[in-house]
């Protein structure tokens, strides 16, 4: 079956944009201190190819990420396009989560404040601030860390825990965020680190937290039909602004 030229062009444009956004996310994670050098992993489903995923080749520092560096891999760990190999835990965690949840973007980090919260016996994020209230009821919890991911079954287990949630707290490990777009997923990841920091700092005072009621949380989470900006537009504007910061502070990701 032949592919319509316009469809092919649209797909090519979507892939090019996905690469730029993925490279940007890696560099933003460096600016925002969410990364661990060459470790952890961000992946994006290749537009038009539901069983193939974009990733930064293992060994490159996240501050070096460029759109042209990104490679394509599949669930078997094969490199289909580009140079390099997919790191084993990235293959085992990300590919099954993409496949099972249908998420277009999967971000996994060991970011400082989220890890600090996930080191506690009680690692639940509490709706004790306006921003934290947005996450209430949207986080799944993996309370049983058992070591490094070395099989696809681990990713399948994590996907089963997540169900319809956007965020997974991984006890003694890190966090995982999924989204429909990079703008959505990275905004979740960025704000999540800030609310984890807020909770840890507040707990450090030794005084009790003032947790918002379920009624107030529901009002915070409800979309105001009179709002001039949809959530999708807010996500897009946020990520575009962050990429402008990158163009000033850490340029080169678009190459």
pLDDT (0 to 100) of residue 146: 83
Would you say residue 3 has pLDDT above 50?
no
Range(s) of the domain holding residue 37: 11-249
Would you say residue 25 has pLDDT above 70?
yes
In a domain, 6, yes or no: no
CATH number of the domain to which 99 belongs: 3.40.225.10
Q: In what order do the strands lie in the sheet with 174-179?
A: 79-81, 71-73, 49-55, 41-46, 105-109, 174-179, 167-170, 139-142
In a domain, 1, yes or no: no
In a domain, 26, yes or no: yes
Query: How far, in Å, are 90, 175, 185, 225 from residue 168 at the CA level?
Result: 16, 6, 12, 29
**Averaged pLDDT for residues 6-23:** 86
Into how many domains does the chain fold?
1
30-40 pLDDT, tens digit per residue, is: 999 999 999 99
52-103 pLDDT, tens digit per residue, is: 999 999 999 999 999 999 999 999 999 999 999 999 999 999 999 999 999 9
In a domain, 36, yes or no: yes
Q: Which residues are CB-neighbours of 215 under 8 A, at least 6 positions away?
A: none
In a domain, 142, yes or no: yes
115-155 pLDDT, tens digit per residue, is: 999 999 999 999 999 999 999 999 999 999 988 888 999 99
Give CA–CA dist 248/24, Å, rounded.
12
In a domain, 60, yes or no: yes
214-254 pLDDT, tens digit per residue, is: 999 999 998 776 677 788 899 999 999 999 999 999 999 99
Helix residue spans in 32-164 (DSSP H): 88-101, 112-118, 130-135, 152-162
Would you say residue 29 has pLDDT above 90?
yes
* pTM for the predicted model, two decimal places: 0.93
pLDDT (0 to 100) of residue 10: 87
Q: Which of 255, 253, 254 is nearest to 29 (CA)?
A: 253
| Ramachandran angles phi, psi of 177, nearest 5° | -125, 135
């Amino acid at each position: 079956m032949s592919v319509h030229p316009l469809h092919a062009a649209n797909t090519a444009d979507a892939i090019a944009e996905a690469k730029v956004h993925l490279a940007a996310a890696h560099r933003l994670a460096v600016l925002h201190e969410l990364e661990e050098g060459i470790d952890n992993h961000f992946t994006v489903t290749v537009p038009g190819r539901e069983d193939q995923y974009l990733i930064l080749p293992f060994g490159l520092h996240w501050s070096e990420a460029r759109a042209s560096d990104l490679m394509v891999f599949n669930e078997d760990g094969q490199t289909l396009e580009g140079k390099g190999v997919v790191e084993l835990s990235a293959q085992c965690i990300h590919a099954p989560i993409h496949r099972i949840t249908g998420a277009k973007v999967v971000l996994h980090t060991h970011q400082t404040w989220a890890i600090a919260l996930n080191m506690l016996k009680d690692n639940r994020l509490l709706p004790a601030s306006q921003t934290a209230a947005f996450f209430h009821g949207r986080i799944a919890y993996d309370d049983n860390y058992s070591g490094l991911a070395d099989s696809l079954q681990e990713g399948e287990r994590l996907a089963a825990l997540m169900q319809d949630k956007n965020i997974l707290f991984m006890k003694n490990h890190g966090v995982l965020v999924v989204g429909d777009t990079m703008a959505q997923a990275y905004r979740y990841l960025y704000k999540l680190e800030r609310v984890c920091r807020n909770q840890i700092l507040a707990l450090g005072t030794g005084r009790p937290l003032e947790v918002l009621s379920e009624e107030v949380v529901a009002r915070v989470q409800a979309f105001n039909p009179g709002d001039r900006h949809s959530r999708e537009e807010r996500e897009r504007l946020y990520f575009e602004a962050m990429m402008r910061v990158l163009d000033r502070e850490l340029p080169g990701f678009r190459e």
